[in-house]
Amino acid sequence: MIAQNTPLACLEGIGARFLVHLKRLGIETVKDLVFHFPVRYEDFTQIYPISDLEPGQQATIQGEIEEIDVRRSWRRGVVIVEATVTDETGRIRIVWFNQPYIKNTLRPGRRANFSGKVSLSDGELYLSHPTYELVGAHETRHTARLVPIYPETHGLTSKGIRYLVQPILKNIVSVDDYLPKTILDEHHLPNINEALRAIHFPDTIDAALQAKARFSFEDLFLLQLSNLRQKMALAKERAPQIKTDIGHLKQVLSELPFPLTLSQKRSLWEIIKDLERREPMNRLLQGDVGSGKTAVAALAAALAAIRGAQTAFMAPTEVLARQHFATLKKLFGPVKAMNQPIVALMTASEARVLYADDLEASMKKEELKKKIASGEIQIVVGTHALIAGKVRAKTAAAKPLAFKNLGLVIVDEQHRFGVEQRAALTARAKSARGLLPHFLSMSATPIPRTLMLTVFGDLDISIITELPAGRKNIETRVVPPEERAGAYALIRNEVLKGRQVFVVCPRIERPDLLNTKNAYLEKLKIDTKSVIEEYEKLSTKIFPDLRVAMLHGQMPASAKGRSSSGGKNGASSGKATKESVMKDFEDGKTDILVSTSVIEVGVDVPNASVMMIEGSERFGLAQLYQFRGRVGRGEYQSYCLLTTESKTKNANERLKAIVEAKNGFELAERDLKLRGPGEFLGDKQTGLPDYAMRGLQDLELVRATRAAAVAVLGRDADLAHSPALKAKLAEFRKTIHLE
């Protein structure tokens, strides 16, 4: 018998060439191979009489080889194997190309199955390149059954994988099922050994579906267990209790420059109640673009500061960090009574401090670090610079940022931070008293219900459902090539009204076909609009009289002394930085900003009223939604123009979805349905198995697995009585890395 942990190199009959191809698929052990599941099945279960065959049919026949011959075609090097096969009803010609070795197997007089497509030529039916299998004592693998089709690689076909898998499944050691029997019985699922055999070589399509259902349930169940256990472990930790005085709260809200919406108030109250608990908060603040998430988070930070607790406010980009710093400046009234520097900005390129009297100043990083460590600074806004450094570094500059009394960590666009970065922040934030800070993450990327219950299942969720008063709906249009002139006319008209415009492109520059190793592949992408190309066209041909600037990720973030943009298109000069270009746009010195996706988040220019997205079909719906949210942030009617030259049904459906969706949550559900969880989440960024990915679209399955996980942990929180499940869960956690 063969154990699952046996290396394939130790099995007889698997040559070195096979092993190289298998390794390319990540398959090195018996377990890897048997868990390399089929993606679909070809139904060759019915054996047809030759006389019943019809052109275009996928069919299996069984017959005797009457004759077989090998010849060369007039094309140099092309070898044709041609056989005649007969059964009780007739005969048929079978053809293969460049497989001369077939003649050594399919000798006259032998009986075999042939599965493939029936073709017609000059009025004669024939089988073209069918799979064949001699009829004998062994069970069929490739014909006369549901034939599994696997993920393949160069040099290794599904036929080769079937050749390896079938004998291994017959001789593999049975394993104890890690799913509790109560769960298997309740949900009518096969045990692990039955499911493994049925998913590779099912007798019926129902058996295959049952096996797939078992593995989908298993993967989601493990994900639910992982999240719930993580939540239970966090509940055992302790955090500083940050109590809010109702009088203070009323004063803070009364000093705001705008009233909070009902859902903003509800979300803030949920956060306040969490901060008062001894257990660390682990909450996700979810809301549409422009719904006021940052204001709620900033208020939480201000209330914490009043009670003497520090807040680390972390953003994925410097642009977004500066935007949050600017928002805190606007909301600074609630903590003005504290006569000391309150808020600081620290990124890789700068350090700034905002004092209680609204004075803002630059500061050396080392000095700022000392003030943070002493507790003088209550709120620190920054990028990964907040967690950069090594604890045992020899120099102070290389050590991570230290806080005196860190009580709250806020992370914006949390899916953009890797798990290791978030873990580093949490680990370093644990105080000498063993207290963890409260954790609040924010996201404007709408999350479908199934993902809320699984991928984000360890988080409590607050949702802001309304936009601030006075906001108008953004008019969204799909712009085909023949309507581009009208789009340019709308842009000019808006600029004449005093408004500003974003133009977003998928690429920075046009690919150089002469200097690429695969010019053909690059040519396929040539229609993708580039920032440099679009900037040159708009500034010199379409809008030569307007002020056009360019922004992309390869530009330096900032400079010690910001150069003047100088002239109507000076912002795009060689001296321009991302900071200077954005500052000019925010100050109204630029009419049109041509940019890459660098402006996806963190840009707040209320005067901008048009977002034109070039090659819009090349972006995901969530990203398009983020782009659209860069306009409509003031009182002006705003427009989102989705240009496309694609005629494909899929592209049209996706763009239609963003035009029709009433809000981000509805759009997220449609995006999940159209693209699937793999593209929505980015399967390489999660490590989730394929069957878990597919299961994320099934709300009932998600609910069932969560209920099962809750029941199991309710009986056995440490899984002490389920050692096989505990071991499987530990293995599962190593493979996933949810962002």
DSSP string of 252-302?
HHHTSSSPPPHHHHHHHHHHHHHHTSSSPPEEEEEE-TTSSHHHHHHHHHH
Cα distances (Å, whole numbers) of residue 156 to 33, 115, 130, 252 = 13, 19, 17, 66
Residue 729: its pLDDT value, please?
93
> What is the per-residue pLDDT across 218-275, written as a single tens digit (0 to 9) for each?
999 999 999 899 889 888 889 999 999 888 888 888 888 888 999 999 999 999 999 9
Q: pLDDT tens-digit profile of 266-299?
A: 999 999 999 999 999 989 898 877 788 989 999 9
pLDDT in tens, 456-474: 777 888 988 887 777 788 8
pLDDT, mean over the chain: 84
Class of residue 37 by CB neighbours under 10 A (exposed 0-12, middle 13-18, buried 19+)? middle
In the prediction, which pLDDT does 448 show?
75
Instruction: Report pLDDT for 338.
Output: 45
DSSP category for residue 47? B
Distance of CA 411 to the CA centre of its chain: 18
Which residue in this structure is represented by tokens 């809008």? 543
Confidence of residue 575 (pLDDT cuts 50, 70, 90): low
Asked which of 264-278, 575-589, 682-696 is least confident by mean pLDDT, the reply is: 682-696
| Closest CA relative to residue 615, chosen from 549, 534, 536 | 534
Asked if pLDDT for residue 661 goes beyond 80, the answer is no
pLDDT at 612: 97
> Could you read off the pLDDT of 494-545 as tens digits, one per residue?
999 999 999 999 875 554 433 444 443 343 343 346 888 999 999 999 999 9
* % of the chain beyond a pLDDT of 70: 84
- Answer whether residue 572 shows pLDDT above 60: no
Comparison of pLDDT for 448 and 708, the residue scoring more: 708
Q: How high is the pLDDT of residue 570?
A: 44
| Percent over 90 (pLDDT), the chain | 45
Asked if the model's pLDDT at residue 75 lies above 80, the reply is no
Within 10 Å of residue 241's Cβ, how many Cβ atoms?
15
Per-residue pLDDT reduced to its tens digit, 355-385: 766 678 889 988 998 999 998 898 999 987 6
> From start to end of 323-470, where are the E strands?
343-346, 351-354, 360-362, 379-382, 406-412, 438-443, 460-464
Cα–Cα distance for residue pair 242/303, rounded to 1 Å: 9
Q: What is the mean pLDDT of residues 687-692?
A: 71
Identify which of 252, 288, 247, 257 has the alpha carbon closest to the alpha carbon of residue 268: 252
Determine the Cα–Cα distance for residues 557 and 347; give it in Å rounded to an integer.
Answer: 10
Predicted local confidence at residue 583, as pLDDT: 87
CA distance 564 to 541: 24
pLDDT digits (tens, 9 = 90+) for 424-445: 555 666 665 678 899 998 887 7
Asked whether 536 and 542 are in contact (CB, 8 A), the reply is no
pLDDT of residue 391: 56
Q: Which pLDDT does position 453 carry in this prediction?
A: 77
